[in-house]
Amino acid sequence: MESLDEFSVIKDYFFGLSHGAATVIGPGDDCAVLRLPIGEELATSSDTLIEGSHFPFGSDGDDIAYRAIATSASDLAAMGAQPLASVLSVSLPVIDTAWLEDFTQGLAQAVQCFSLPLVGGDLTAGPLSITVTVYGSLPANHGLLRSGARPGETVLVSGTLGDAAAGLAFLNNEWEPDQADREFLARRFFRPESRLNLASSLLKIASAAIDISDGLLADVGHIASASSLSIRIDARKIPLSPALSKLENSQQVLEWALSGGDDYELCFTMPANKTVPSGCTVIGFTTSGNGVSCDGVEIIGSRKGYRHF
């Protein structure tokens, strides 16, 4: 694409997605400038997704873009933060206009869905990878941390677990779901819900929260460790989608739900007398001690979720 250079590509494809209440200066200058609500603090997170590691080789551009924004949005949700904006850094082996149009379509959908206008971008030549930085706002000193859980509280998750891992296994040709469930499961991998809609209610009721990226057991382990207590999970209470609950191989389903990761649902703790938010399920409780157990079995390293190395 001889007529395209880095600057015109960025301009053509990404500059239209920057409008938002927080945007003072959007893309095209040395920095983006954002306005925070008065008295609020900035919550921010930056994550890189790499082809072949975080999504299968040959994934559609729109799915990759959507997932990159959604998984970062999930970090804001897990802090109880309200979304302000996002910045994208993309490394691409070649400029392929059809791919970029596809990518931008998914980006536009995600940016709108999660209220994360794209205020800056950087495009470089290299192996396909996407780094998204997200910006959110929080009432001062009120961020929802992993360390705030207390013994005697309930442990909850949003949505259903295991779908994304089952979807990824399907995308990797490791099993064949029913025809009717294939799109649902693939979407659960590529289009995580990222529960930003729960953020403000969790700020009021939850004592600790995390998003489930590495697998439920690994991620509740982070809450247990940061809060210096023990978390007991009841596997029968794990919420499953119809696509998974109907499967005969319940051991595989449990593995996906407990250790699969990629669901980007929220796991949180709250005092037992609080009302369970809509769409959430109690799956266990906290107690003094340390570590995580599931159906009474202590969980040790080997099942503690996905590791990159």
List residues bridging with 287 in a β-sheet. Answer: 230
The answer to whether the beta carbons of residues 217 and 294 sit under 8 Å apart is: yes
Closest to a copy of itself by CB, 141 vs 179, is 141
The least distance separating a copy of itself from the CB of residue 170, rounded to whole angstroms, comes to 23
Closest to a copy of itself by CB, 249 vs 290, is 290
Question: What count of other Cβ atoms lies within 10 Å of the Cβ of residue 289?
Answer: 13
The answer to whether the beta carbons of residues 285 and 223 sit under 8 Å apart is: no
Question: What count of other Cβ atoms lies within 10 Å of the Cβ of residue 109?
Answer: 16
Give the whole-angstrom CA distance, residue 1 versus residue 65.
22
Give me 284's structure tokens: 């266990």
Among 17, 26, 32, 164, binds a copy of itself (CB under 8 A): 32
158: nearest Cα among 222, 204, 89, 211:
211
Show contacts with a copy of itself in window 55-74 (CB under 8 A). 74
Residue type for position 80: G
Give me 303's structure tokens: 């099942």
The least distance separating a copy of itself from the CB of residue 48, rounded to whole angstroms, comes to 4
Among 125, 272, 276, 297, binds a copy of itself (CB under 8 A): 125
Residue 232 sits in the site that holds a copy of itself (CB under 8 A)? no
Closest to a copy of itself by CB, 36 vs 282, is 36
Residue 302 sits in the site that holds a copy of itself (CB under 8 A)? no
Q: Long-range contacts: 296-301, Cβ < 8 Å, 24+?
A: 296/232, 299/217, 299/221
Give me 231's structure tokens: 């978390």
Residue 178 sits in the site that holds a copy of itself (CB under 8 A)? no
Among 12, 60, 122, 234, binds a copy of itself (CB under 8 A): 122
Give the whole-angstrom CA distance, residue 133 versus residue 121.
10
Q: What are phi and psi of 268, to 5 degrees?
A: -150, 160
Closest to a copy of itself by CB, 17 vs 253, is 17
Residue 135 sits in the site that holds a copy of itself (CB under 8 A)? yes
Part in contact with a copy of itself (CB under 8 A); list of ranges 13-21, 206-214, 241-249, 252-260: 206-214
Question: What count of other Cβ atoms lies within 10 Å of the Cβ of residue 121?
Answer: 23
Part in contact with a copy of itself (CB under 8 A); list of ranges 44-52, 58-66, 197-205, 279-287: 44-52
Residue 101 sits in the site that holds a copy of itself (CB under 8 A)? no
Residue with tokens 């309200």: 82
Give the whole-angstrom CA distance, residue 35 versus residue 2.
38
Residue 13 sits in the site that holds a copy of itself (CB under 8 A)? no
Part in contact with a copy of itself (CB under 8 A); list of ranges 89-97, 98-106, 110-118, 272-280: 89-97
Among 11, 12, 16, 35, binds a copy of itself (CB under 8 A): 35
Q: Which residues bind a copy of itself (CB under 8 A)?
A: 1, 4-6, 9, 24-25, 28-36, 41-48, 50, 52-54, 74-76, 78-79, 81, 87-89, 91, 94-95, 119-120, 122-127, 129, 131, 133-136, 138, 140-141, 143, 145-147, 209-211, 226, 307-309
